[in-house]
Amino acid sequence: MRKAGEIVGKTLALLKASVEPGMTTRDLDRIAFKEITRSGASPTFKGYRGFPATICTSVNEEIVHGIPGRRKLQEGDIIKVDVGATIEGFIGDAAVTIAVGEVPEALLALMEDTRLGLEEGIKAAVPGARVGDIGAAVQEYGESRGYGVVREFVGHGVGRFLHEDPQVPNYGWLAVGHCCAPVCASPLSLCSMRETGGPGFWMMIGLWSPRTGNFLPILNIQ
């Protein structure tokens, strides 16, 4: 799993360095595919429940599961990039939010607060703690900063399979040896969402929120 996580981390770093106004989300997908396969791994998401691409690219109001395509990134956008890689039977899965060029201070604050909210959740992820403690820590920080948190999605365990127990932050216990990918997605003034997409895969869009942030690491609870 460590090797899979390292490949995902390197791929995310490359994508972050590659993002610039004018490129398409499909351009990013090609970059990710080359990096993952060059490292001897395979793209975890490609073909998973019909998903057609190597990575998820969710721009601005798109919350998660965005499908790379012809959409061009513009100055001031923020893009959530989710990467999965499989090697030697183990999976790595992580995501970051990237600013495209110069973005407004409010969006930089959103990104930073999302990251800090995630850190609060990580601090709560210790043996013996309840899974709900993680979600409570994220929610408390997010709401203290004036944001709402996405309730329709949860973090999840990851290992031999992309989605394993435990679900985070719903309920249950984190035991020693569990690896999980907690999601911290803090949308600005999000009041409702809708699905869009085809059979087997979908993307969630914030109806009343121009921007959302997302950071997704892998944690080993020990």
Q: What is the mean pLDDT of the chain?
A: 81
Residue 184 β-bridge partners:
215
User: Is the pTM for the entire model greater than 0.85?
Assistant: no
Lookup: tokens for 147: 């944001």
Helix (H) or strand (E) holding 57: strand 55-59
Question: What per-residue confidence (pLDDT) applies to 216?
Answer: 57
Domain carrying residue 158 = 2-220
> Is residue 201 scored above 90 in pLDDT?
no
CB 36 within 8 A of CB 85: yes
Q: What's the number of domains the chain is made of?
A: 1
Whole-number Å distance between alpha carbons of 76 and 200: 31
Closest by CA to 203, choosing from 52, 93, 84, is 52
Contact 30, 70 (CB under 8 A): no
In the numeric block, which tokens belong to residue 211? Answer: 């921007």
d(CA 121, CA 202): 26
129: exposed, middle or buried (Cβ count in 10 Å: 0-12, 13-18, 19+): middle
Q: Model confidence over 176-197: pLDDT tens digits?
A: 555 555 444 433 323 333 444 4
Supply the DSSP symbol for 161.
Answer: S
| CATH code for the domain of 53 | 3.90.230.10
- The per-residue pLDDT for range 49-91, each reduced to its tens digit, is 999 999 999 999 888 899 999 999 999 999 999 999 999 999 9
Three-state secondary structure call for residue 153 = coil
